[in-house]
Structure 1
Amino acid sequence: MSTKMPTPPKKKRRAQIAETYRMAKKGDPRLGLILLGVFVVAAAIGFALFWFLPGPDLIFAIPGALLFGSLATLIVFGRRAQTSMYTQIEDQKGAAAAALQMLRRGWVSAPVIAFNKQQDVVHRAVGRQGIVLIGEGNPNRLRPLMTSERRKHERVAGGAPITEVIVGRGEGQVPLPKLVKHLQKLPKAIRPAEMTDVVNRLKAFDATRSAVPLPKGPVPTNMKGMRQNMRGR
């Protein structure tokens, strides 16, 4: 009986980075040239810095150049890959749900908690900032839907603040690429224990509601895959 050998971590990590690169390159065709340029410039700076250190110059200069180049390339790669993913999904239905997957630990998100016949949708995120209702679609149609959801959530919020956010490029809206940062910058209003209580209240509340069928069309999952690949998960 043959057993399958586990994939070595280094090979798995390389495959994950390669997959992320292929995904990002679809929305950023010049990504390879940009990363090459960043590596060369950063490596040159690193080489120059370490060259002037006292001692055996090349022993420090060459590793220093590689270190500076690799670090700068990874930073730029991560940022441009994320931007590319947002560009690819921004006009898709459920794009905000995909973006919410990029929230750091400390947040609990629930996609598509409500939607109407025109497929305008409301998502929810819960953190130390309280409850955030995120709407995407036509702002005029979203208003009654958001108001209805706010009233329902006020009954179980236990005093936690409820914030409404509409994703879009219009006045008073939050662009998709800035959604995660916008949520994270909201002022913290509840303690961790209170957040746990709110999450439990919402779970019980959701269980009493009829299951919400997903609107037509796939919800993008690119962002979650990109995040996991960049973190090596």
Structure 2
Amino acid sequence: MSQQEEKPRRLFRRKPKDPNTTGRLAQMKQVFQLARRHNPASVWLMAAAILGFTALGVVGGYFFGTMWLWVILGLMVGIFLAMFMLGRFAETAAFAEMKGQPGAIGAVLNTARRGWLMDEQPITIDPRTQDLVYRATGKGGVVLFSEGPPNRAAKLLAKEKKRHERVLPNVPIHTFQGGDGADQIPLDRVIRTVHKVPRGLNKAEVLAVRKRLTALGTMTSRPPIPKGIDPMRARPDRRALRGR
């Protein structure tokens, strides 16, 4: 009756619940409240979808027989449609709450799927204006998304595009401006814009691009070289080396 007999029993014990983790029902409740807060009519639209398809199930059972089967089928379809509508309403509400906040473009880009990899932090931050540039990498190449006014964002994107083209000469670099200004892409269209980028790279090429971009990020994080100093022509101080 030693420790060896206690180990098999622990395998069947339930894993302790993390107090910081939100349950599925709590998450659904939060999503529902968010959607209802921004669109009060969402509750009635979801209820109409469930009741409408259930009624269609009753009609189908009346004409084709097996009433209970058709009612259950109509109810399930209605619930599925209501959940889809809830997701769309919640997404619109989330975009409305993030609108105008710093980092909103990055938060939306982070939800991109279909083979796109998002950098967790912005690759460029203008210390004076706080304009940002985010980057995503995928089979379409490299996507640079700016966050800031159109005139300043255009200059920042052009600078970053040139920097990336020097490191990735044969990789397509796509630049977009996020925001609500002229020729800018609002939050609710950011993901669709990224997914519409034509694909031209395979998985191995995407991994190679990511490795190159890691080196680029290290270069951009270094402090700039003072003006007037050419590191290729700099000579050591021989007296200092001799200890004088």
Normalising by the residue count of structure 1, what TM-score does the alignment of the two structures yield?
0.79
2: CA distance between counterparts of 1:109 and 1:181?
Answer: 15
RMSD (Å), alpha carbons: 2.4
Structure 2 matches for 1:50-65, cutoff 5 A? 50-54=61-65, 57-65=66-74
Match of 2:59 among 48, 52, 65: 48
Larger radius of gyration: 2
Pair 1:16-2:31 in alignment: no
Instruction: Write the deviation string for residues 110-157 of structure 1: whole angstroms up to 9, x where unpaired.
Output: 242112211111111111111011011111111221111111111222
Pair 1:74-2:83 in alignment: yes
Instruction: Write the deviation string for residues 84-129 of structure 1: whole angstroms up to 9, x where unpaired.
Output: 1111112212111111122014111124211221111111111111
User: Larger RCO: Structure 1 or Structure 2 (Cα < 8 Å, ≥ 6 residues apart)?
Assistant: 1
- Quote the residue 2:92 is aligned against: 83
- Quote the residue 2:125 is aligned against: 115
2: CA distance between counterparts of 1:196 and 1:46?
Answer: 50
Unaligned ranges ≥5, structure 2? 1-12, 224-244
| Structure 2 counterpart of 1:136, one-letter code | E
1: CA distance between counterparts of 2:23 and 2:144?
Answer: 37
| Structure 2 counterpart of 1:114, one-letter code | T
Unaligned ranges ≥5, structure 1? 213-233
User: Which is further off, 45-54 or 109-118?
Assistant: 45-54
Tell me the SS of whatever aligns to 2:101.
coil
2: CA distance between counterparts of 1:101 and 1:167?
Answer: 14
Percent of paired sites with the same residue: 30
Tell me the SS of whatever aligns to 1:187.
coil
TM-aligned CA deviation for residue 5 of structure 1:
4.2
Tell me the SS of whatever aligns to 2:146.
strand
Q: Conserved in 1, the CA contact under 8 Å of 2:122 and 2:133?
A: yes
Match of 1:94 among 96, 100, 103: 103
- Quote the residue 2:230 is aligned against: none
TM-aligned CA deviation for residue 3 of structure 1:
7.7
Q: Conserved in 1, the CA contact under 8 Å of 2:114 and 2:195?
A: no
Tell me the SS of whatever aligns to 1:118.
coil
Q: Conserved in 2, the CA contact under 8 Å of 1:168 and 1:175?
A: yes
Normalising by the residue count of structure 2, what TM-score does the alignment of the two structures yield?
0.76
